[in-house]
Amino acid sequence: MTLLNFFISGISLGSIYAIIALGYTMVYGIAKMLNFAHGDVIMVGAYVCFYAVSRFQLPVLAGVALAMFVCTLLGIIVEKLAYKPLRQAPSLAVLITAIGVSYFLQNTALLMWSSNPKVFPSVVGRGAVKLFEGQLSISHVTIITIVTCVVIMLCLTWFTGNTRMGKAMRACSEDKGAAQLMGINVNATISMTFAIGSGLAAVAGVLLCSAYPMLMPTTGSLPGIKAFTAAVFGGIGSIPGALLGGLLLGVIEIFAKAYISSQLSDAVVFAVLIVVLLVKPAGLLGVQMTEKV
Amino acid sequence: MKKFFAFVAAAALVMTAGCAFGANAFKLGGTGPLTGGAAIYGNAAKNGAQIAVDEINASDSKVKFELLYEDDTHDAEKAVNAYNALKDWGMQISMGSVTSKPCEATAAENFSDRIFALTPSASAVAVTAGKDNVFQMCFVDPNQGSASAQYISDKALGKKIAIIWKNDDVYSTGIHETFISKAKELGLEVVSDMTFADGNDTDFSVQLTDAKDKGAELVFLPMYYQPASLILAQAAAVDYAPKWFGVDGMDGILTMEGFDKSLAEGVILLTPFNADAKDIRTINFVREYKKRFGEVPNQFAADSYDCVYAYKQALENSQATADMDAETLCAKMIEQFTSMTFNGLTGSNMTWSKGGEVTKDPKGMIIKNGAYVGLD
C-alpha cells in the first residue's frame, strides 16, 4: 500500500512536470528553439491568477482565463521583441536570449511583487479521493492535473494534425525556407506557437501552485528545468513524449527518494536520464532524424 | 541642493545629539537594513536599542549613550560604507550589523580597527570566527540544534523523532548536525532522517510517510518557514498530526500572505524572546515598544535592547569613561564580556565564550489560535 501511495505521489508530481513539459516541447518542436523563459511565464501566470482570485475576488475560472490571456500576450510580446529579431541568428544566440528573458521576468516579478512568498489560494479545493478505507488518497489537484494534461495533449495532437494552422506549424518545423516558398507566413506561425505555449504555461502555473501552494518570483524556474528534462526524456518535440517523460520523471524521483536515498534522489533521476539517452538518443518517443548529406 | 539640506540636517542632528550629554556619553553605532526587503529586522533592532538608550539616559546611571544607526539595506558593501560613516562620527563601541552577511563584512573592519562589536542578531559562525573583539547576543546557528534537542528532552515532548532538513543550506545542515549528536547523547531516538534540496522542495510525501510509518511523535524542522509551510499543508492533507518543532527560521510563518494559520496550530519553536513573558522588564519593554511603534516587538528588538544593557553593565564594571578611545574600550570590553554574567530579556545568566558566542537558555513558544504563546 505504501508503494502504491508513493506511486500516486509520483504521478501527481509527474503530472505537474508533464504539463510544463508540454509547453517546452511544443515550442521546441515547431520553432526549434529552447524557450528557457517558459518556467518564468508559468510564474507570471500563477501571480496573475493569485491576484485575480485572492485580491479581486474573481471566480476561479475567470482567474485562470485572465492568467491565460495575460500569458498569451506576454508570450507574443516576448517573441516579437526578443526572439523575432534573431530569426536568422545561430541557435546559440537565441538560447542565450531566452536565458536573458528568464532573468528579466524573474527580476521584474521581484520588483513588482517582492520576494515575500505568497500562499496560493486553493483554486480546485484541497480535498482528496480516499480509497481502501482511507489508506490510499489521491488529491483532487492530481486528478485535475492529469485530466488537463491528457486533454491538452489530445487537443494539441489534433490541432497540429488536422487544422490549417497546425499543418503550417508542422511545415515550418520541417523546413522554414520551403514552407515560406509554399506561401506559409512563417513569422505569424511561430508567433502563434509562442502564444499557445504561453497560454499553456498559465494553466501549468495555476496547477503547479495549486498542488504546491507557494508562490515566489523563482517559483517557476526549478520546476521549469525539471520539466525540460522530462521533455528531453520523453523525446523533445514529441507531444505524447512530454506526458510520458513527465510522469516517469515524477515517479522515478519519488521512488528514488523513498527507496534509495533522499539526499541522492536528483542524482538518481539524472542518472536514469543519461542511461536512457545513451540507449535512445532521441528520447523515449522521439523520432531519430536522419540527415541526408 | 537636496543633498546639501540633508547634510545640514544630519550635521545639526549630530551636533544637538552630541551636546545633549557632552563628554559623558559613549558613542554607540550600528548598521542594519532600515530600508529594502529585510527592513523589518533592521528597524526592529534599531527601535529596541533606542528604547534601551532612552531609558538609560533618563535614569541616574553614570553611563550614558548616544546611539546612531546607519542603513546598510542588507548589503555587505553598503554595510562597510555605513560602518565608515559611523567611524567618522566617532563611534567608540559598535553594535555590528543586524543581519549575517553584512555583519561578516563589518566584523572584519571592527577587528582591524580594534572597535569592539556586539551584534544583536547576526547568527552566522563566520561573524565571530577568528575575531577576539566581535561578540553575539543571539545564538550562533549550530547551537540552535543542541538547544532544541535539550529542550525536547527536558520537556519530554517525544522520544521518537523525525527530522526533515535542507541539505544544500548551511543554516539547516549546521542545526541538523548538532541536533543529531546532542539527541544521541540525551537518548532521543531519531527514527527518520530525511532531506530535500532546492530542486525538489515541493513534494514532501516521502519524508512525511517515512516519519509516519516509523512512528515519530515529533517532527523537527530546522529550516525557514517557506518549505515548512508546504510540509504542514501536505501533512494535513494525509491526516498526519505529530508535534512540530521549529527553530527561529520558522518565525514569520504566520505573516505569510494567504497562509492558513490553522495549519500551524500547535507548532513549537525555539526563540530566545517571548513577548508574552510575565516578568516586569519584558512587560515594560513590550508596552513601551507598542506605544512607540504600534506593534509587538520581535526577538531582534529584544536582542538589541539587551545589547545596550549588556554594554551598560560592562562599562560600569570596568569603570570606563566616555573620554577613552575605542582601542582602550575594546580591551576593557573583551575582558568584561568573557568574564561577566548578564541577565536580559532574551535570557538569564548569559555568558560569552572567548570566541564571542553566547550561552543562554532559549524559550519555547507555541502557536495557538494563530498567535505565539510562551510555553514556560
Q: What are the DSSP calls for B20-46, one per residue?
A: HHGGGEEEEEEEE-SSSTTHHHHHHHH
User: How is residue A98 annotated by DSSP?
Assistant: H
| B90: containing domain | 16-139+279-361
Choose the weakest-confidence range: A143-157, B92-106, B260-274: B260-274
Residue A263 above 70 pLDDT?
yes
Q: Are residues B283 and B267 in the same domain?
A: no
Residue A289: exposed, middle, or buried by beta-carbon count in 10 A (0-12, 13-18, 19+)? exposed
Question: Would you state the pLDDT for residue B271?
Answer: 79
For B175, the 3-state DSSP assignment is helix
Sequence-distant (≥ 6) Cβ neighbours of residue B69 within 8 angstroms: B29, B30, B31, B32, B34, B42, B45, B46, B49, B95
Hey, are the CB atoms on A254 and B203 less than 8 Å from each other?
Answer: yes
Confidence (pTM) = 0.75
Residue B97 scores a pLDDT above 70: yes
CA dihedral B95, B98, B101, B103 (to 10 degrees): 0
What's the whole-number mean pLDDT along residues B215-233? 88
- Same domain for B168 and B188, yes or no, is yes
Shortest CA distance to A254 belongs to which of A5, A19, A22? A5
Is B39 inside any structural domain?
Answer: yes
Residue B99 located in a structural domain: yes
For B174, phi then psi, to 5°, come to -60, -50
Q: Residues A1-25: pLDDT tens digits? A: 778 888 888 888 898 899 899 888 8
Of B199, B206, B259, the CB nearest to A262: B206
Does domain A2-279 match CATH 1.10.443? no
CA distance A8 to chain B (A): 10
Partners of A138 in the beta sheet?
Answer: A129
Tell me whether residue A144 is exposed, middle or buried, using C-beta atoms within 10 angstroms of its C-beta: 0 to 12, 13 to 18, 19 or more: middle
DSSP state of A291: P
Q: What is the CATH number of the domain that holds B197?
A: 3.40.50.2300
Cross-chain Cβ contact A266/B237 below 8 Å: no
Residue B235 belongs to some domain of the structure: yes
* Tens-place pLDDT, residues A123-164: 666 667 777 766 777 878 888 888 888 899 899 889 888 898
pLDDT tens digits along B158-205: 889 999 998 877 778 888 988 999 989 888 889 999 999 877 788 888
Give the pLDDT confidence score for residue A90 in this predicted structure: 86
Q: Does the pLDDT of residue B21 top 70, yes or no?
A: no
Q: State percent of chain B over pLDDT 90.
A: 39
Band the pLDDT of B15: cuts 50, 70, 90: very low
- Whether the pLDDT of residue B276 is over 80: the answer is no
pLDDT of residue A24: 87
Q: How far is B337 from chain A (nearest CA, A)?
A: 37
Residues in chain A closer than 8 A to B259 (CB atoms)? 119
Residue B81 has pLDDT above 50, yes or no: yes
pLDDT at B18 > cutoff 50: no
Q: What percent of chain B has pLDDT over 70?
A: 93
Please check whether residue A37 touches B, CB under 8 A. Answer: no
CB contact under 8 A, B202 and A214: yes
Taking the Cβ of residue B230 and every Cβ of chain A, the question of whether any pair is shorter than 8 Å is answered with yes
- Burial-class residue A222 by CB neighbours within 10 Å (0-12, 13-18, 19+): middle
**B117-119/B134-136 β-pairing:** parallel
Q: What is the pLDDT of residue B17?
A: 47
Residues 6 or more apart in contact with residue B237 via CB below 8 angstroms? A126, A128, A137, A139
Contact B206 A257 (CB under 8 A): yes
pLDDT of residue B374: 77
Q: What one-character DSSP code corresponds to residue B61?
A: -
Contacts of A132 in chain B (CB under 8 A): none
- Asked if A119 and B259 come within 8 Å (Cβ–Cβ), the reply is yes
- If asked whether residues B264 and B147 sit together in one domain, one would say yes
B289 inside domain: yes
Residue in B73, B203, B214, B254 to test binding to A, most A beta-carbons within 10 Å:
B203
Residue A180, chain B, CB below 8 Å: the answer is no
Sort out which chain A residues have CB atoms less than 8 A from B195's CB and list them: 262-263
User: In the structure, what pLDDT confidence band is assigned to residue A120 with cuts at 50, 70 and 90?
Assistant: confident
Residue A165's φ and ψ, nearest 5 degrees, are -60, -40
Instruction: Check whether residue B263 and residue B286 sit in a common domain.
Output: no
- Is the C-alpha dihedral spanning B236, B240, B242, B244 positive or negative? negative
Whether A98 shows a pLDDT value over 50: the answer reads: yes
A226–B206 C-beta distance less than 8 A: no
Q: Which of the residues A257, A266, A269, A273 would you substitute to probe the B interface, choosing the one with the greatest number of B C-beta atoms within 10 Å?
A: A257
- For B:253-282, CB contacts with A below 8 A are 256-260
pLDDT value at position B19? 43
Instruction: Kindly report the number of other CB atoms within 10 A of residue A230's CB atom.
Output: 33
- Select from B220, B243, B271 the last residue of a domain: B271
Are the C-beta atoms of residues A8 and A203 closer than 8 Å to each other?
no
Chain B CB within 8 Å of residue A257 CB: yes
**How many A×B Cβ pairs under 8 Å?**
83
- Judge whether B55 and B67 are in contact, CB under 8 Å: no
Distance CA B7, CA B68 (A): 15
Listed in sequence order, the residues at least 6 apart from A109 whose beta carbon sits closer than 8 Å to its beta carbon are: A40, A43, A44, A47, A217
Nearest chain A residue (CA) to B193: A262
Residues of B in contact with A128 (CB under 8 A): 237
A196-209 pLDDT, tens digit per residue, is: 999 999 999 998 88
Residue where a domain stops, chosen among B246, B271, B296: B271
B202 contacts A139? CB cut-off 8 A: no
Given an 8 Å threshold on Cβ–Cβ distance, is A258 in contact with B210? Answer: yes
* Residue B1 is assigned to a structural domain of this protein: no
| Res A74: pLDDT | 94
Contact A185, A55 (CB under 8 A): no
A112 in contact with B, Cβ within 8 Å: no
Q: Do the domain assignments include residue B292?
A: yes
Query: In terms of domains, do B235 and B181 share one?
Result: yes
Please state the rounded mean pLDDT for residues A250-269: 86
Contact B258 A13 (CB under 8 A): no
B13 has pLDDT over 80: no
Interface membership of B40 toward A (CB under 8 Å): no
Q: Which of B23, B22, B41, B21 is nearest to B31 (CA)?
A: B41
Q: What is the mean pLDDT of chain A?
A: 86
User: Does A257 sit within 8 Å of B200, measured CB to CB?
Assistant: yes
Provide the 8-state DSSP code for B257.
Answer: B
Is the predicted pLDDT of residue A255 greater than 80, yes or no?
A: yes
Instruction: Tell me the mean pLDDT in the region A65-89.
Output: 91
Query: B257 and B156, same structural domain?
Result: yes
B339 within a domain of the structure (yes/no): yes
What average pLDDT does the segment B247-251 reach?
79
User: What's the mean pLDDT in B1-20?
Assistant: 49
* CA pair distance B179, B218, nearest whole angstrom: 14
Helix (H, G, I), strand (E, B) or coil at B70: strand
Residue B290 pLDDT > 70:
yes
Question: Residue B284's pLDDT band (boundaries 50, 70, 90)?
Answer: very high
Same domain, B220 and B319: no
* Domain layout of chain A by residue ranges: 2-279
Give how many domains chain B has, as a whole number: 2
Q: Is the pLDDT of residue B16 over 50?
A: no
Chain B residues touching A265 at Cβ < 8 A: 200
Q: Which residue of B199, B202, B206 is in closest CB contact with A212?
A: B202
The answer, for B229 touching chain A at a CB cutoff of 8 Å, is yes
Q: Are residues B230 and B113 in the same domain?
A: no
- For residue B108, the number of C-alpha atoms closer than 13 Å in the C-beta half-sphere is 10
Q: What is the mean pLDDT of residues A171-194?
A: 87
Best residue in A214, A229, A264 to probe B by mutation, most B CBs within 10 Å?
A214
Q: In what order do the strands lie in the sheet with B363-368?
A: B189-196, B160-166, B218-221, B243-246, B268-271, B363-368, B371-374
Give the residue from B247, B271, B295 where a domain finishes. Answer: B271
Whether B7 maps to a domain, the answer reads no
Per-residue pLDDT of B306-365, as tens digits, reads 999 999 999 999 988 888 899 999 999 999 999 999 999 988 889 999 889 888 877 788
